[in-house]
Amino acid sequence: MKQIETRALAPARSRAASTSRAAAAAAIALCGVTLGCSTDEPDPGTQGVLHEEIIGGFPATGAQLNAIGAIARVVNGQLVPFTTGTLISPTMVLATKHNLRSITDVAQVKFLIGPDAFAPLRAVPVRGFAVEPTVSGGLTDNGSDVGILHLAEPIVDVPLLAVAALTDDRIGSRMVGVGYGAQNSAGVRGTRRAGSMTVQATSGSALAAAFGTFDTFLARGGDALPPGVDPRDPANRPFLQQVYDTELLLPGIEAWIGGGPEDAMACQGDGGAPVIAQVGARTTVFGVSSWRYAPSDLACQPIGAAYATMNPIALDFVDYEAHCPLVPRAGTCESPVIAVRCARGDEGGRRVLRTDCGQLGQVCGFDAAGALGCVDPR
């Protein structure tokens, strides 16, 4: 069993509102109001906190959507769903980076097939995961908040979903979010549901996309602020204006989806739930649910949520994992003498390369320039 997390580079931008995560300087406690931000182990006594929610949706029980399933941990012998994933190849499940990073033991993780997360048709074992390594920052500080869960065995009897870039020409159009979990304020959850949602923005202030105006944010969003930040106090307005202006979508990497007339809404911990649309005859994923603004788990306002989009960077990551699954970008030493890396496009296309340095009387290692290869034994 191998768990791979590729190294993230330096943040793409500095966000003044990022200090909101610190309790002393908080204007918004982001992990308290984000989708799927918690990495706490679910409580098996309550069947866990299922992190895929569509409120105001419709049942989506058909086998045609069985590529959309729940990802679960085995806790005390019980399957506890904690996020959503979408099968995009026989062995690859698209999910969010922040939810996959919460996995500590891939041997205890399963991909669940079927419309009922607590009575799955099948539970498929996992062999590892990878997350997009080149972008950071954004609303969850995860950059391009996408990851791939690699299955230990292929799924060959479920229609796969395609992936495509979410481009600006889709702003104003409606797509469909699909997920499991809290379907109302009573917390009914566990079955797959679907609901249409409007693409609102692919850049700019997330809170402007959610609330429309700063005054509406103060009136409708104030109850999500921690104690001590009273939106009715004029002394707090400059600071809250800064939060409103600087809680930004990463352009082209994140999108605000939902909040339009007749839209369903993402809710409690809805990390990983895909937003899809038909492209020709293919059901196609354009993003996965990543972040929402709400005062509590089930107090879900119909204002939409941030989605990590499929974009050129995310699509390149998916292509890399399809050709070189679980191989770090810098390469790796599979054993003391076996060097493994992924070939570049200018080396005949991406594919796994494996070299036995022992045949040269050398060992696998990194040279003085930091490149993986065969080096002299020390």
pLDDT band for position 1 (cuts 50, 70, 90): very low
* Rg from Cα positions in the chain: 21
Considering the domain boundaries, does residue 318 fall inside one?
Answer: yes
Tally of CB atoms within 10 A around 104? 11
Q: What range defines the domain where residue 205 resides?
A: 16-323
Which pLDDT does position 36 carry in this prediction?
34
Mean pLDDT of 88-100: 96
* Four-point Cα dihedral 25, 30, 31, 33, nearest 10: 130
Q: How far is CA 62 from the centre of its chain?
A: 24
Considering the domain boundaries, does residue 129 fall inside one?
Answer: yes
Are 225 and 159 contained in the same domain?
A: yes
Mean pLDDT of 57-85: 89
Mean pLDDT of 301-307: 88
Are 191 and 89 contained in the same domain?
A: yes
**Could you tell me which residue, 223 or 198, shows the higher pLDDT?**
198
pLDDT tops 80 at residue 310: yes
Evaluate if pTM is beyond 0.75. yes
Which pLDDT does position 17 carry in this prediction?
33
Which pLDDT does position 295 carry in this prediction?
63
Q: At 256, which CATH number?
A: 2.40.10.10
DSSP calls for 19-76:
GGGSGGG-SS-HHHHSTT---PPP-GGGT------EET-EE---GGGTTEEEEEEEET
Considering the domain boundaries, does residue 11 fall inside one?
Answer: no
Task: Identify how many contiguous H helices and E strands the chain contains and give both numbers.
Answer: 6, 23
pLDDT band for position 41 (cuts 50, 70, 90): very low
Tally of domains in the chain: 2
What are the pLDDT digits (tens) for 337-360?
999 999 999 999 999 999 999 999
Q: What is the chain's mean pLDDT, rounded? A: 83
pLDDT tops 50 at residue 321: yes
Segment among 34-48, 68-82, 235-249 with least mean pLDDT:
34-48
Considering the domain boundaries, does residue 2 fall inside one?
Answer: no
Are 150 and 297 contained in the same domain?
A: yes
